Structure 1
Amino acid sequence: MNRSDTAAKNRLNAWTVGLAGGLLEGAPIRFATEIARVVDEGDALHVLPIVTRGPAENVEALLYLRGVDAAIINADALEQFRTLVPNIDQRINYVLNLFPSELHILVRPEIQSLADLKGKRINFNTPGTTAAYSGPLIFNRLKLDVEKTFIPHPAAIEQMRKGEGGMAGVVFITSKPVDAFLRGRWDPGFKFLPVGIEDGDFYTTYLPSALTSKDYPQLVPEGQEVQTISVPTILAAYNWPKGSDRYARVARLVDHLFSRLDQLRTPGFHPAWRDVNIVAEVPGLRRFAPAQEWIDRNAPDRPQRASGAAASGAPTGGPQR
């Protein structure tokens, strides 16, 4: 490699940050792509959104995959990893509490309650999606024993519409509104089932939410809402040692992202950006130090928690990988 090539290689790599997103059809990869677009600064900062097997596996990518400095992860996936990686709170910091992914349980007319789902065929989308990971976890907490299928949702919805194959319902876990429930017409009786935070052991990881008639005018009567829960989705960073090259890259990403957050709240970007609260906390994790320092300088509002769990008070200064 000649001197010119070496200089180009060094310049291109100097301020590149790997951001694990998720599957192409999911909301997290869209968030990752929009972050990359807004923070781009040419050679001074280049974020690479990475298509992965899903936001649940992004925890593993953030811990072990070379070139990954940040990731969009789900709170319940992080909770599951705590049993496998006891020091995970020292190795992963959070940057921003991004958006809630609401639980949608759409069922056929003959289904009237959660109890009616026992033994029925329910689809959780394809492996790697949030529904396929978080859905079974939620159903376990609800103590609902169902026949789980993991086929593409469009095929499952068509079966459910026609009453074929015994498909009684579909489970989506994503930011509302879901296009699949807005398109076309639904016969009378198709409905979302309510799920309350008190219906299962949801207090430590999940948040209360609602599906309203404004979200789904065909499926929720005007002026009404259906109680549900949501999975917090987090922008997390590897806890690189302070003063290291990778630490400096993520610190620059934080500064650019926080300084330009208002751009992400304009038309053309995902509407969930408008609800992102920069000071909202993620219990159980420390915020990446440069992110907390930026907030202390620029947004001294009182922090808000992302869920009801107690903060762990994990120390800073994670190991290298």
Structure 2
Amino acid sequence: MSQIISGLGGQSLYGGLNGINSSSAIISNTQFNNPLESTVDYSALIRVLVTILQQLLSQSSDNTTRPTPTVADTSNNSQPFNRSNNFNTASNNNLLSAASNQNSEDDRNIDFNILSATQRDQLGMTPRERAILHLWGRQVISAGKQDGGIYTNVLGADGTGTNWANKAEVELVKELRAAEKQQFGGDTGIFLDQLYFNLVKEKTGVDMSTRYANRPVHFSSGAVSIITDINLLHQRTGLTEFEQGALRLFGHDPLINGKFDGSVLDYTISNNNALDGSRNSSGNPIDKVVRQLLNEDIQDDGQRNGSSLMKSVITILDRLYSSN
């Protein structure tokens, strides 16, 4: 028995025990020839055994493999896909680098609405680029055509834009209005179209400018009535639920990673934190549109690469720019 216990001092199942050799020496020096005649101090023996056990358990705990924390771990959000989660600015900070470099599941945690201007820049789009996307989308979805009416929304009746919160949009519209007044004599949205087409071409290589070079010129009759009700928009513009959703998703696609790559579909579906989530688009069942686009993406070329979203937008614009 002394040999068995002594052996524990030199080796353990967890790679060796340090600091218990003196304990094993005490036990090995004790003789157990005849249990009835032994003068062993059993209390001391028990204390030594307890010490050995404690050290074994301690080393077992120290050698347990712990998972390496991920970006999602540091956000303090254990359920990043749950619509009920509320994500704050601190968790957004932890996710910015991942989102700006790749389309990962962590992107879904970002609440774009509460990001600062600097944080939005870090995701890959400049304030001017975001202004182009936002104003073009508001105009076309709300009016079903391009006539530059959104300029009056931004600058107001006095033309100053004092009451419009986004100053990058104010400066952009002032430039566009001045250029269009010189070229056409009034607001038309033609130059906003051109900036939008240029941005899409820069990001994707798709040349919408050439495709819609002969589009008609419409003059604005005033501010656009901006609403989100699907049925009212359909009555006003002819845009179906799917078409409204596809145009909004396309405009929001590059905001998270600077690319038109269809990643907005994964970002949006079943995700109330997305720009097109239910809280941000009252009454619009955007998930239905997203599912249709995801299915078409796979049917198109077998890959989730955003091809269905781009094709849908071109089909919509073909009709809008030829029928108005």
Higher strand share: 1
TM-score (norm 2): 0.30
TM-score (norm 1): 0.31
Which of structures 1 and 2 has the bigger CA Rg? Answer: 2
